[in-house]
Structures are given as structure tokens and as C-alpha cells.
Amino acid sequence: MKRILFFAVAALLAGNAAAFELTSPDPEVKNGRPMVKAQEYKGFGCNGDNLSPALEWKNPPAGTRSYAVTVFDPDAPTGSGFWHWVVYNIPATATGLPAGAVVVEPLPAGAKQGRNDFGERNFSGACPPVGDRPHHYIFTVHALKVDKITVPDDASAALVGFNIIGNRLGLAKMTTTYSR
């Protein structure tokens, strides 16, 4: 009987643990909702402001030593999706990234940006083909068990992603959409 009670209490406590969560304080950027022109790419036929939305996260897994943030479009007509942003080595003390990261506000000290699929080291906003169905943009914060990921400066988003996944304790996602 004591054993059953112990497991019941343990399950209850585990169920009450707050989930790792990613949100945006920007009123226009919400899970399941379309992004706005500010998050559209500037170039490649698109003429948005190319600004990253503000991101906030809370309740990371115990043992988190750093974070990474990625933005991926699985609907891009490439056969393999499209990486729009890769930021890693974000200190464990961080609880988010500012709107317009790097352009308007700096990244947290020590954070690095990887090369995205536009070949740039910054947030590159949405730029789906005109008339295509709405694309999904998956913003993910990864809680990592290491202080830093070590990759070459010219590492692809896929190589950085491989190192993120190999060191991940948990993740939280927010998916937005965009179409032109």
C-alpha cells in the first residue's frame, strides 16, 4: 500500500511540473497565427523589415547550461525545408531574445549565430513564393546540457543542428505562418 501511495504522489508531483514554454510578447506573433510584414525577409523578391520577433521562454529543464534558438520552414520548396535562423551558446541565464535581435538589440553575451539557408548569419525572415499556401515557421528554443557548442565558424545550419540535438535536454516550440 505504501508503495502504491508513493508512486501516486510521485506521479502527481511530476504532473504538476511546469512545462518548458516558448512564447512571444509581440502582440502580432502568436502560436498558430500569421506573422506580420516586420518578420518578412528583405531581399530575394521580398520587401519586409527582416526583424526577428521577441521571444521569451520559461520553465527550462533542470540542468540547463545553455540554449539554442532555431527557426525552420518545413514547407519551403527545397526538398529539405529552410533554416531561417540559428543562434547557439545563449547563456543559461537568458530568458529570451529581443525583437530585432542584432539589428536593433544585441544578442546575449557569448551567443553566436550560425549560417542560415540564405547564407547569412542573422534572422532571415519569411519569404515564401507568391501564391504558395501559407508556410509554417517553427521557432524552437533548445535547452542544452553543455555551456557551449563548438563548431567551425562556417558550419551549416544542419551541422549546428546536429550538435544541438546531441546535447539537448528539452525543447519548446512556437509555430507561426506566413504567405504572400
Where do the domains of the chain lie, and which CATH numbers do they carry? 18-178 (3.90.280.10)
- Set of cell numbers at residue 106: 544585441
Round to whole Å and give the CA distance between 149 and 23: 24
Residues 6+ apart with CB under 8 A from 178: 34, 35, 39, 40, 126, 128, 134, 135, 137
pTM of the model as a whole = 0.89
Given this model, what pLDDT does residue 104 score? Answer: 85
In the predicted model, is pLDDT for residue 12 greater than 80?
A: no
Given this model, what pLDDT does residue 1 score? Answer: 52
Q: What is the mean pLDDT of residues 42-63?
A: 97
Round to whole Å and give the CA distance between 61 and 58: 9
Round to whole Å and give the CA distance between 7 and 5: 6
Asked whether 123 and 101 are in contact (CB, 8 A), the reply is yes
Q: What is the mean pLDDT of residues 49-62?
A: 98
Round to whole Å and give the CA distance between 137 and 112: 21
Given this model, what pLDDT does residue 16 score? Answer: 52
pLDDT tens, 119-170? 999 999 999 999 999 999 999 999 999 999 999 988 999 999 999 999 999 9
pLDDT tens, 82-99? 999 999 999 999 999 999
Alpha carbon dihedral 161, 163, 167, 168, in 10-degree steps, equals: 0
pLDDT tens, 101-116? 988 889 999 999 999 9
Burial class (CB in 10 A: 0-12, 13-18, 19+), 152: exposed
